[in-house]
């Protein structure tokens, strides 16, 4: 596909890294010549220096022949203008990053009039990711499929867990519930395991289960944590605002520490929470606001370094759930060695969303990508497919008779609203939703899972 990306900043760079690896023809536009040059050197992309809302610049970038234009500059209005101009020139699809909460209702009204294919909001996506993680505090990462009815949780197996030393076959026989361990990270290696795989303490497991079963699973394996009731949030920016809106109907009580008095007033007026006008980077402030006693600490300031340092301090104080926002540099593995397990990255979430959208546009006939998540540090993909027709060699055949590609696992089948954690005797049928786990794969359609 021919793709034009307006904006070469943190988000634009992350999108480039994801899409360039899938062999698309990518052109990046930005007014910053140094940024363009750096991105062109790092990725196999063509750079154009200029304003993405300038018709001549768009034409030079080939927007008139583009299959997709993605506008992710820091300005919402500029992104919308770029998309509108590109569609007038002939671009087939357009996606704009729109972050301002005040534009939410406006986008619903004007999306069709502006001929906009999609609007993305990295901060809202990050807030939803944090909200899911607070619902299951034992998990470092939680993703949802099939309208929230299927959960996929990533967590570290405790040293004292009763399932250490057991194979997955033994585990399925011992636990009378619907679940499937679909990926395991051990050291630097990631496995899509067979039934003979033996679990060890310290393994990072990715388990999928129906929504009503996941808490039961955590209890059985000794990884359950008490539900979160009080949280301390450092930083009162957009992500905090969206998160507080999501928490409004829950029992979770939030205290927000924000150094900017203007943001403090806005949060106090718009959200039902306690707002403290102070600097969360100061140890005394965190202690005064009850860091040592809180159920969860959320480091959501605009400074990555501050978020990492205060998160490490919270872990040392014994806070069970610590969530760390990283906006720029991605050193996830280093942070994990420091004990930081739940790391939220808006740029990575946005890149994963656009990767799903691009694959859906390029998808072969017969299936449709509903969701796509990068798990296990991006080494594994979890993809939700909707089967749209009978597929010879795939539908109507028992799973045990399918010749699946290496490192591919069928994690869940939803058949006529029934959630099935599959066995070898189950089959995929037309109309089913299928969740597939693939290591390092580039599945564009469900037919790609078989040899």
**How high is the pLDDT of residue 327?**
86
**How high is the pLDDT of residue 361?**
81
pTM above 0.75, yes or no: yes
Model pLDDT for residues 227-270, shown as the tens digit of each residue: 999 999 999 999 999 999 999 989 999 999 999 999 999 999 99
End-to-end Cα, the chain, rounded Å: 25
What is the token pair recorded at 258? Answer: 């924000």
**Rounded distance between C-alpha atoms, residue 437 and residue 217, angstroms:** 20
In the chain, where are the structural domains located?
2-120, 230-344, 350-449
Mean pLDDT of the chain: 90
**Rounded distance between C-alpha atoms, residue 243 and residue 124, angstroms:** 8
Q: Are the CB atoms for 28 and 5 separated by under 8 Å?
A: yes
Is the per-residue pLDDT at 91 higher than 90? yes
Helix ranges (H only) for 155-201 are 168-174
Helix ranges (H only) for 43-145 are 55-61, 76-89, 104-110, 122-135
- The 3-class secondary structure across 233-270, one letter per residue, is EECCCHHHHHHHHHHCCCCCEEEEEECCHHHHHHHHHH
Residue 163's φ and ψ, nearest 5 degrees, are -95, 0
Same fold, 230-344 and 350-449: no
What's the CATH code, domain 350-449?
3.30.70.1450
Domain 2-120 has CATH 3.40.630.30: no
**How high is the pLDDT of residue 364?**
53
CA atoms within 13 A on the CB side of 210: 12
CB within 8 Å of 189: residues ≥ 6 apart: none
From 372, 73, 374, 121, select the one nearest 239 (Cα to Cα). 121
Identify the architecture of domain 230-344 in CATH.
3-Layer(aba) Sandwich (3.40)
Q: What is the largest distance, in Å, between two alpha-carbon atoms of the chain?
A: 66
Share above pLDDT 90 across residues of the chain, in percent, rounded to a whole number: 64
Beta strand residue intervals within 263-328, DSSP E: 274-277, 296-299, 321-325
**How high is the pLDDT of residue 365?**
57
Residue 46's φ and ψ, nearest 5 degrees, are -100, 135
């Amino acid at each position: 596909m021919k793709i034009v990306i307006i904006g070469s900043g943190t988000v634009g760079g992350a999108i480039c890294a994801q899409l360039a690896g899938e062999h698309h023809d990518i052109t990046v536009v930005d007014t910053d010549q140094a940024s363009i040059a750096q991105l062109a050197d790092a990725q196999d992309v063509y750079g154009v220096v200029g304003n993405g809302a300038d018709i001549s610049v768009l034409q030079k970038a080939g927007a008139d022949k583009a299959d997709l234009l993605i506008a992710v500059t820091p300005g919402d209005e500029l992104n919308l203008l770029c998309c509108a101009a590109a569609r007038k020139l002939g671009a087939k699809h357009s996606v704009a990053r729109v972050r301002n909460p005040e534009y939410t209702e406006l986008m619903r009204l004007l999306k069709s009039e502006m001929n906009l294919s999609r609007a993305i909001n990295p901060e809202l996506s990050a807030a939803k990711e944090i909200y899911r993680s607070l619902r299951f505090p034992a998990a470092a990462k939680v993703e949802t499929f099939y309208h929230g009815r299927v959960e996929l949780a990533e967590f570290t197996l405790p040293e004292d867990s009763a399932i250490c030393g057991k194979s997955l076959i033994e585990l399925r026989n011992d636990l009378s519930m619907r679940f499937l361990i679909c990926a395991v990270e051990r050291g630097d290696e990631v496995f899509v395991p067979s039934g003979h795989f033996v679990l060890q303490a310290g393994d990072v497991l990715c388990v999928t289960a129906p929504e009503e079963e996941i808490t039961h699973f955590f209890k059985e394996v000794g990884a359950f944590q008490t539900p979160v009731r009080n949280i301390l949030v450092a930083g009162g920016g957009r992500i905090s605002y969206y998160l507080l809106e999501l928490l409004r109907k829950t029992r979770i009580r939030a205290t927000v520490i924000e150094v900017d008095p203007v943001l403090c007033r806005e949060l106090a007026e718009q959200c039902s929470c306690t707002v403290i006008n102070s600097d969360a980077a100061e140890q005394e402030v965190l202690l005064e606001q009850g860091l040592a006693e809180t159920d969860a600490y959320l480091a959501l300031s605009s400074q990555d370094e501050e978020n990492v340092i205060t998160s490490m301090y919270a872990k040392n104080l014994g806070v069970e759930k610590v969530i760390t926002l990283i906006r720029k540099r991605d050193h996830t593995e280093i942070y994990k060695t420091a004990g930081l397990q739940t790391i939220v990255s808006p740029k990575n979430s946005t890149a994963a969303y656009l990767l799903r959208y691009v694959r859906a546009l390029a998808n072969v006939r017969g299936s449709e990508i509903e969701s796509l998540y990068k798990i296990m540090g991006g080494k594994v993909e979890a993809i939700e497919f909707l089967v749209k027709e009978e597929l010879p060699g795939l539908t109507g055949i028992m799973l045990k008779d399918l010749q699946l590609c290496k490192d591919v696992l069928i994690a869940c089948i939803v058949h006529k609203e029934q959630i099935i954690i599959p066995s070898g005797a189950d089959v995929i049928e037309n109309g089913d939703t299928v969740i597939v786990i693939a290591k390092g794969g580039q599945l564009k359609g469900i037919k790609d899972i078989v040899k």
